[in-house]
């Protein structure tokens, strides 16, 4: 296809004979088809054998992420320039592979994500996609309309780079691939695909609530850490403002000092669950983030109170809310450098 060798990786788990049509149609679009049987307990493996495609068999179900990695490794072991991933349950139309590849070739992208119409998804899928879209944009600053789409095209070189960086597990793996690609500076673009749901997505193994919460657990834990420190700081700040009579600089410094230790310990051990020893470099990075936050807080308070004449407590609530997400991103990427999934 345009002198580029293309391999398709199709993870399959208990999709029964639905995979036969998908694989045969995919075979007309690419040079190689690699199906990964993720420990299916029905007749999926037998159906795959009937198609004559390359098969990677996992002895027990390990999750879509593990199946993807096994398929990627098999694809990279042979000759290929691009790797396309699609599901074996009929939700992705193989005839649209050409459009995704054309987009990749025209744009020079490292990855192209097939974008469905979210409004045409079942309600539970809309819910999961809404949250993961917000999470991705909060982390990267870039919009992506369909973070949960498994219909994707990658340069083989990009897959090689991601193999040792991504946390290969279950459905959260596809989200982690996006984060790692963004962090590596890869060019990720999108292309429209059809929105197909068969029997209200009966065959899908994606558990909207469970797998979405797996992605968001770190945010929930960080929110709890932030709330505990914020409540402590807010109470101290409010009390000190009554005693110090509008000397908001001192009130901020004292209340922030009391909250910093709480925030550091709870964020490190509870939110990000780090087990490694505390290193001096980590403390310095945390101190730098805290200093940035403090300077920004003071600047915003000065603007809101001294310049605009806001109530001090209201100004504190507004400024702290704005800086909450900014601080999370700095801590996750710069200070603790942990995986999100």
At 237 the pLDDT is: 87
Q: What is the pLDDT of residues 142-162, one digit of tens each?
A: 889 888 889 999 999 999 999
Among the listed residues 282, 260, 263, 261, the one whose alpha carbon sits nearest the alpha carbon of residue 271 = 263
At 209 the pLDDT is: 47
Measured at the alpha carbon of residue 151, what is the angle toward residues 195 and 11, in degrees to the nearest 5?
115
Place of tokens 């200070």: 335
Task: Tell me what the mean pLDDT of segment 171-185 comes to.
Answer: 87
The CB-based long-range contact list for 159-166 (8 Å cut-off, 24+ gap) reads 159/72, 159/75, 159/76, 159/83, 160/76, 161/186, 163/69, 163/72, 163/73, 163/76, 166/65, 166/69
**For the chain, what percent of residues have pLDDT higher than 70?**
88
Q: What is the pLDDT of residues 26-48, one digit of tens each?
A: 999 999 999 999 999 999 999 99
Indicate if the pLDDT at residue 74 is higher than 80.
yes
At 202 the pLDDT is: 47
Indicate if the pLDDT at residue 112 is higher than 60.
yes
Which part of the chain has CATH 3.90.550.10? 6-205
pLDDT averaged over every residue in the chain? 86
Say if CB 127 and CB 148 are below 8 A apart.
no
Q: Structure pTM?
A: 0.63
Indicate if the pLDDT at residue 305 is higher than 90.
yes
- Dist CA 121 CA 123 (whole Å): 6
At 132 the pLDDT is: 78
- Dist CA 333 CA 338 (whole Å): 7
Alpha carbon distances (Å) from 209 to 123, 145, 182, 274: 12, 19, 25, 25
At 73 the pLDDT is: 97
Which string of b and e fits 60-89 if b means at least 16 CB within 10 Å?
ebbbbbbbbbbbbebbbeeebbbbbbbbbb
CATH for the stretch 6-205: 3.90.550.10
Alpha helices in the chain (DSSP H): 18-27, 44-51, 64-77, 97-107, 123-140, 156-163, 172-183, 208-244, 248-266, 280-301, 312-330
At 206 the pLDDT is: 47
Q: What is the pLDDT of residues 52-72, one digit of tens each?
A: 999 999 999 888 999 999 999
At a CB cut-off of 8 Å and minimum separation 6, what does 87 contact?
10, 11, 22, 150, 151
Indicate if the pLDDT at residue 79 is higher than 80.
yes
At 47 the pLDDT is: 95
At 125 the pLDDT is: 65
Indicate if the pLDDT at residue 227 is higher than 70.
yes
Measured at the alpha carbon of residue 339, what is the angle toward residues 333 and 341, in degrees to the nearest 5?
135
């Amino acid at each position: 296809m345009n002198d580029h060798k293309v391999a398709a990786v199709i993870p399959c788990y208990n999709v029964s004979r639905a995979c036969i049509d998908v694989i045969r149609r995919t075979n007309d679009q690419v040079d190689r088809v690699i199906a990964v049987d993720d420990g299916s307990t029905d007749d999926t493996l037998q159906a795959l054998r009937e198609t004559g495609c390359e098969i990677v068999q996992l002895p027990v179900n390990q999750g879509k992420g593990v199946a993807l990695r096994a398929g990627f490794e098999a694809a990279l072991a042979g000759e290929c320039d691009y790797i396309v991933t699609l599901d074996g349950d009929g939700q992705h139309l193989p005839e649209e592979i050409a459009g995704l590849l054309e987009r990749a070739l025209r744009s020079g992208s490292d990855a192209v994500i097939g974008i469905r119409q979210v409004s045409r998804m079942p309600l539970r899928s809309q819910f999961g996609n809404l949250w993961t879209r917000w999470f991705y944009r909060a982390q990267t600053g870039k919009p992506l309309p369909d973070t949960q789409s498994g219909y994707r095209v990658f340069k083989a070189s990009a897959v090689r780079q991601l193999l040792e960086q991504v946390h290969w597990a279950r459905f959260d793996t596809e989200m982690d691939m996006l984060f790692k690609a963004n962090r590596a500076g890869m060019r990720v673009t999108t292309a429209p695909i059809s929105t197909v749901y068969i029997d209200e997505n009966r065959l899908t193994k994606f558990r909207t609530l469970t797998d979405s919460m797996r992605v968001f657990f770190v945010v929930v834990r960080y929110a709890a850490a932030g709330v505990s420190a914020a409540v402590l700081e807010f109470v101290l700040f409010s009390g000190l403002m009554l005693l110090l009579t509008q000397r908001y600089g001192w009130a901020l410094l004292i209340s922030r000092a009391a909250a910093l230790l709480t925030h550091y310990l709870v964020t490190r051990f509870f939110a990000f669950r780090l087990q490694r020893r505390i290193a001096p470099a980590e403390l310095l990075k945390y101190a730098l983030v805290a200093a940035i936050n403090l300077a920004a807080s003071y600047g915003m308070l000065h603007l809101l109170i001294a310049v605009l004449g806001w109530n001090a407590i209201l100004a504190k609530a507004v400024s702290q809310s704005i800086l909450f997400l900014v601080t999370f991103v700095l801590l996750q990427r710069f200070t603790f450098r942990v995986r999100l999934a």
